[in-house]
Each structure stands twice: as C-alpha cells, then as structure tokens.
C-alpha cells in the first residue's frame, strides 16, 4: 500500500499544459488539434496547406480530399523537420481523425503528431500473473538503452500506438507477438479490455502538445509463460511484486510516464489502492478527466 | 456482448437534471447541496435554520456548531415531513459533509438528503464467481416486494449507504453479513475495491436532487458459497450468466437503476464490453463525469 498523493502527482505531471501558448488547429468548425503559437508563425510558410490567423488564434486546414491534404501535410512536415520544428522522424503514417474510428481527415508522419496536437491512440497491456490469493504479479519490461524515446525506462510487457485500419484487439495480438513473444492464440485468450485513460501534456522545450488516449488491457498470463524480447526494443522482462511496482510508480521516475498512468488505473480497478485511503476520490477524478473522442 | 448505446442511455437516465430548477445550499462560501426553488420558498418558514434569498438563488445555513445545526435541521425536516415536502422517513441519521471523510457539517434524517441535494455515499459489491475460463458469473439479488424503494427490482448481492463514523471496508463487511449471510472472514478475504462511480439525478415529481457517490467492490466468492437473505430485504439470490446480466441492464428496467451504473462500470473494467465496439469512448466518458468530492 502506498500513499495516494505521490500517485496523484504523477497523474498531474502528465496533465500540465498552458493552452494559452497554443492556437487551435481547425477543420471547418471542428477542432482537430492545437499548434504552439511559435510553430503557428512558421506555418505561414505553407499557405497551400493551412491558413494561419494569429489574430484569431487559429490555423485552418485548406479544403481538399484526405489524399490532397495528406500530400500537403507530407510536404509541410518534411519542411518543418528540416527547419528543426519536427524533431525526430519515425517513417510511420498516423491518421488524424475527428474521433476514434472515424474516417481519417489526413495521414501524417508520426513524429509530427504532437507538433499539431493531434490526438493519438494506443494500447497498453498489464501483463499479470495471478497468485493463489487472487492478487497478481506484474511483468515489467525494461526498454532498450538505444531506444529513441525513454531509453532504459520501465515499461508494460506490451504497448504500442494504434495504426489506422486494424482493430484494437488485433493490434494487441500483433504487438503481443512482436514485443513479448506471446503466441496469437494465447494473446487472444488472455487479453481483456479494462477501460481507458487519457492525458494532455505540454512539452515546452519541444513546443508540442501530446494528447493520448490509451486503451488498457489486462493480460492474465499463465504462471509458466515467460515473455521474450523479440524485436530488440526491450532489454529484459522481470516479474515484479505489485508492492514494488507501486513503490516505483509512486516514488521514482523509473517507469515511462504514460505507463504509470495505466498502472495507477489498474491499482484502482484491482484494489491495490483503496477508497479508505485519504485522497482516493481526488485521485480517481484526476485519472478520469477524459480529454478524448 | 450487447450494443453500447442502450447502456449509455441507462447512464444518461441517471444524469438528467435541470439545475435551473434548483438554488444552491451554501455554508459560507462552500456549496453543500441544492434545493428545488419551490422547496426553497417553503424554507422561508424556518428562519432559525436557513436564510433564503430567492433573488440570489441561495439558501444559506445559519452559523452555528454542528450540534446546533443538527437540531435546527431536525426541526425543519420534521416540519417539512408533515407538510409533505420530505416524503418517507427512515429514522436514520446521515452526515452532511463538505467532502468524503471530512467532519460532518450537520446530521440529518436520511429521507431528507435528496431534498437538500446533499451528496450521499454508498458501497456496492459485485458478487462474482470465477469460471474456469477467467470470466465470471454474477450473484443477483431480488429485492423484497415490501421494500419502500424499488420493490421487486434486481439488485447487487450487497449494497448499502455509508454511515458516518465507520470505514468503507468495515461497512462492506457489515453489510455482507446483514444482507447476504457472508461471514466476516470470507468478506474480508474476497472484497476488493474497484473504483467509484457517481451520478446526479433530478426527481422532478419529488422536487429532489439525488447526488450519489458509489464505491464499487468486486467480491470474488468461492464457487460453493451460496448467499442467504438474512434481514428480509432480499427475496432471493440467483447466480446469473454475465450475458443475461448485460441483457437485463441494457434492455429492461429490471435492475435498480444505480445498480446498473455499477454493473456497467464492471462491464468496462472486466472487458465484457470492448473498445472495438462503436460508442465505447462516449460510454466510458459518461460513466466518469464524476460529480463528487
């Protein structure tokens, strides 16, 4: 059992932003995202893709088909990358959507998603092993030291962004195989959806806004199954007592931050924190201030 | 698997209110509750307890100690009961609080709680029996036909309001014994907190505002345990397949409405509904628009 205030602080750290620094990214009357005002100023160089109105604090998409807009954003993202406004490059296309499961408004290089404050979606799996008393241990992954993001941090047994065009469970099963060597039939049998969390975080040094919806899955694995790092993104897997997981989430920065959020949700759902502890209602509220669609 | 829209409609039905019909119940600068404007007008008859300012749409508690206010509210509630403004009488004192676990501002007869729009707290236990495939069946209670509220409706195996002065888990264990014949040691071992839900509902015919925070518990009971109705409030217990539970919650009014809310939260937590179903995000959001403190 840990005190709830350090957990609440981790949730707050994932929800720090000053929307006064951002202008809206609009498609007609619909808001799709948000762009830092300094970045918006640079977007004046791409009039074929967007109309920048700093007075009204808006960046408006030019009309066009999804294909046309995808082309314009590809050119814009490439130019911004060269100018240092899109740090990193993943070579992976992401769908900008009005809401989860709706038709893409355009596709865009993944690294540019938080530059435009677009909502991202992912799946996160708690790898659990049931103990005789009904409680669980958790499989903890350590990220490879050469990963571009959060090298060496602790992670879920399986987690990944949601690509367009496949189902969430399909993605879970695919990532289970790629990241932890879990055979598809075992993944299908063990993985159960368990809700969702979301967060919105300003990355001030990058002038980005990260807005993620994470679909949570509990993966209750058989006692004799041992995950194996398949794709080189994970250095090792270890089976942890939940008390140690809770302590690390609450009192260290060892876990990748958004993994902590999914774990805190799991602590609530599975009773590792209890409503008799001071601050429970505030913690649950903070977890559930869902910025999502 | 049921469609999510009928479940979402059940959640919406528990969150219908027009705050324009209500005036704030204020203790200094803090809002404690809300009183229907027609009821507020009648409260002009109790100037020793409250100051009614219909122009500012406020009912203000007179200063005083918790004991003094409890006495004033007792007199007011009794008068209101005679006048038909507090229908029913439970002979049970409830603590009006600024937030859960804080010192009572005053105590008041339970039947008057929604008349003043005070926040109520309760514990609701999902009585689960684990199946070999990891899924669960649910113990369903049928309320006695002579119960004052929701006679004959389907209910949780154990549920109850939260009295002042005892812990939530303590209350769960007590109610487990009183309502379902679950021995304390078994209750302590099986009951795990699993989060919370809340709702705010106007009862227009009664001119009341019901604002409840329900702490959810999963009670994973051994296969060979059979609950027994102890206190006469339950007619019978039956072990239901979760598909039948889901169907009844979605497509009938057989369950007591706030029980449905806790069950829908459980369907989400335990993967009986999945994020690949249309409307999942909206359903989860609607469940988590927490009006609570």
Residue B226 has pLDDT above 90, yes or no: yes
ipTM of the modeled complex: 0.93
Q: What is the pLDDT of residues B72-130, one digit of tens each?
A: 999 999 999 999 999 889 888 899 999 898 899 999 999 999 999 999 999 999 999 99
The shortest CB-CB distance from A100 to any of B274, B281, B293 is to B281
Predicted confidence band at B233 (pLDDT cuts at 50, 70, 90)?
A: confident
**End-to-end Cα spacing for chain B:** 33
Mutate to test the interface with B, among A269, A279, A285 (most CBs of B within 10 A): A269
Subunit contact A194:B276, Cβ cutoff 8 A: no
A 89-128 → B contacts, CB under 8 A: 99-101
Predicted confidence band at A134 (pLDDT cuts at 50, 70, 90)?
A: confident
Question: What is the token pair recorded at B128?
Answer: 């689960």
Residue A288 has pLDDT above 90, yes or no: no
Given CATH 3.40.50.620, say whether it is the number of domain A20-119.
no
Cα distance between residue A171 and residue B282, in whole Å: 21
The shortest CB-CB distance from B285 to any of A134, A276, A292 is to A292
Name the CA radius of gyration of chain A, rounded: 20
B 234-273 → A contacts, CB under 8 A: 268-271, 273
Three-class DSSP labels, chain A: CCCHHHHHHHHHHCCCCCHHHEEEEEECCEEEEEEEHHHHHHHHHCCCCEEEECCCCEEEECCCCHHHHHHHHHHHHHHHHHCCCCCCCCCCEEEEECCCCCCEEEEEEHHHCCCCCCEEEEEEEEEEEECCCCCEEEEEEEECCCCCCCCCCEECCEEEECCCCCCHHHHHHHHHHHHHCCCHHHHHHHEEEEEEEEEEEEECCCCEEEEEEEEEEEEECCCCCCCCCCCCCEEEEEEEEHHHHHHHHHHCCCECHHHHHHHHHHHHHCCCCCCCCCCHHHHHHHHCCCCCC
Cα distance between residue A59 and residue A43, in whole Å: 8
| CA neighbor of A182 nearest in space, from A150, A219, A207 | A219
Residue B290 has pLDDT above 80, yes or no: no
Residue A131 has pLDDT above 80, yes or no: yes
- Among A248-262, A279-293, B80-94, which range has the highest average pLDDT? A248-262
| CA neighbor of B172 nearest in space, from A108, B184, B164, A282 | B184
Residue B53 has pLDDT above 90, yes or no: yes
Q: Which residue has 């539970």 as its token pair?
A: B245
Q: At what angle do helices A242-251 and A4-13 cross, to 10 degrees?
A: 60
Residue B252 has pLDDT above 90, yes or no: yes
CB-CB contact of A23 with A34 (8 Å):
yes
Residue A204 has pLDDT above 90, yes or no: no
Predicted confidence band at B231 (pLDDT cuts at 50, 70, 90)?
A: confident
Residues 6+ apart with CB under 8 A from A289: A15
Residue A123 has pLDDT above 90, yes or no: yes
Cα distance between residue B1 and residue A200, in whole Å: 32
Residue B293 has pLDDT above 90, yes or no: no
Mean local confidence (pLDDT), A182-210: 95
A217, closest residue in chain B (CA to CA): B271
Share above pLDDT 70 across residues of chain B, in percent, rounded to a whole number: 100
A112 C-beta neighbours (distance < 10 Å), count: 25
B200 C-beta neighbours (distance < 10 Å), count: 19
| CA neighbor of B210 nearest in space, from B130, B140, B112 | B112
Share above pLDDT 70 across residues of chain A, in percent, rounded to a whole number: 100
Mean local confidence (pLDDT), B146-155: 92
Residue B163, pLDDT score = 82
Total length of chain A: 293
Predicted confidence band at A182 (pLDDT cuts at 50, 70, 90)?
A: very high
Residue A149, pLDDT score = 86
Q: What is the DSSP string of B67-78?
A: HHHHHHHHHHHH
* Chain A residue numbers touching B290 (CB-CB < 8 A): 281, 284-285, 288
Burial of B261 (0-12, 13-18, 19+ CB in 10 A): buried
B233 C-beta neighbours (distance < 10 Å), count: 15
Q: Which residue has 């926040």 as its token pair?
A: B119
Predicted confidence band at B214 (pLDDT cuts at 50, 70, 90)?
A: very high
B171, closest residue in chain A (CA to CA): A276
Number of H helices, E strands in chain B: 8, 13
Residue A230, pLDDT score = 83
Residue B41 has pLDDT above 90, yes or no: yes
Q: What is the pLDDT of residues A35-68, one digit of tens each?
A: 999 999 999 999 999 999 999 999 999 999 999 9
Residue B174 has pLDDT above 90, yes or no: yes
Question: What is the token pair recorded at B267?
Answer: 């369907």
Residue B171, pLDDT score = 97
CATH 3.90.79.10-classified regions of chain A: 4-15+120-287
* Chain A residue numbers touching B196 (CB-CB < 8 A): 275, 280-281, 284
Residue A126, pLDDT score = 98
Question: What is the token pair recorded at B51?
Answer: 């100051």
Residue B266 has pLDDT above 90, yes or no: yes
Residue B292, pLDDT score = 74
A 20-59 → B contacts, CB under 8 A: none
**Architecture of the domain spanning B4-15+120-287:** Alpha-Beta Complex (3.90)
Subunit contact A292:B273, Cβ cutoff 8 A: no
Residue B133, pLDDT score = 85
* Chain A residue numbers touching B211 (CB-CB < 8 A): none
- Checking DSSP bridges between strand B58-61 and strand B22-27, what pairing results, if any? parallel
The shortest CB-CB distance from A274 to any of B169, B273, B285 is to B169
Average pLDDT of chain A? Answer: 94
Residue A175, pLDDT score = 96
Q: Which residue has 């369903």 as its token pair?
A: B140
**Architecture of the domain spanning B19-118:** 2-Layer Sandwich (3.30)
B26 C-beta neighbours (distance < 10 Å), count: 19
Residue B199, pLDDT score = 95
CATH 3.30.750.160-classified regions of chain B: 19-118
Residue B101, pLDDT score = 86
Note whether B212 contacts A: Cβ–Cβ < 8 A.
Answer: no
Residue A133, pLDDT score = 85
Select the more confidently predicted residue: B166 or A127: A127
| CA neighbor of A291 nearest in space, from B133, B289, B83, B232 | B289
Cα distance between residue B46 and residue B54, in whole Å: 14
Q: Which residue has 């839900």 as its token pair?
A: B197
Residue B164, pLDDT score = 76
Cα distance between residue A160 and residue A171, in whole Å: 8
Residue A101, pLDDT score = 86
């Amino acid at each position: 059992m840990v005190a709830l205030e350090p957990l609440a602080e981790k949730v707050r750290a994932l929800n720090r932003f000053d929307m006064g620094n951002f202008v809206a990214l609009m498609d007609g009357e619909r808001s799709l995202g948000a762009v830092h005002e300094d970045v918006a100023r640079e977007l004046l160089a791409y009039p074929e893709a967007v109309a920048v109105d700093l007075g009204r604090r808006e960046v408006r998409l030019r009309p066009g088909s999804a294909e046309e807009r995808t082309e314009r954003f590809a050119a814009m993202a490439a130019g911004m990358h060269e100018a240092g406004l899109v740090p990193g490059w993943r070579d992976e296309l992401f769908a900008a959507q009005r809401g989860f499961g709706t038709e893409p408004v355009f596709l865009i290089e993944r690294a540019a998603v938080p530059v435009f404050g677009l909502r991202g979606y992912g799946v996160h799996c708690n790898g659990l092993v049931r103990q005789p008393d009904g409680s669980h241990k958790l499989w903890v992954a350590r990220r490879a030291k050469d990963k571009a993001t959060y090298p060496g941090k602790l992670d879920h047994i399986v987690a990944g962004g949601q690509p367009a065009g496949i189902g969430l469970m399909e993605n879970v099963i695919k990532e289970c195989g790629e990241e932890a060597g879990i055979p598809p039939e075992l993944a299908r049998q063990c993985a159960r959806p368990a809700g969702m969390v979301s967060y919105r975080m300003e990355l001030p040094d990058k002038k980005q806004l990260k807005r993620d919806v994470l679909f949570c899955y509990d993966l209750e694995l058989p006692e004799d199954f041992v995950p194996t790092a398949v794709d080189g993104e994970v250095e090792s897997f270890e089976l942890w007592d939940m008390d140690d997981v809770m302590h690390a989430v609450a009192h260290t920065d060892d876990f990748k931050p958004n993994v902590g959020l999914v774990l805190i949700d799991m602590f609530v759902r599975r009773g590792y924190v209890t409503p008799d502890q001071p601050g429970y209602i505030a913690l649950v509220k903070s977890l559930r201030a869902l910025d999502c669609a």
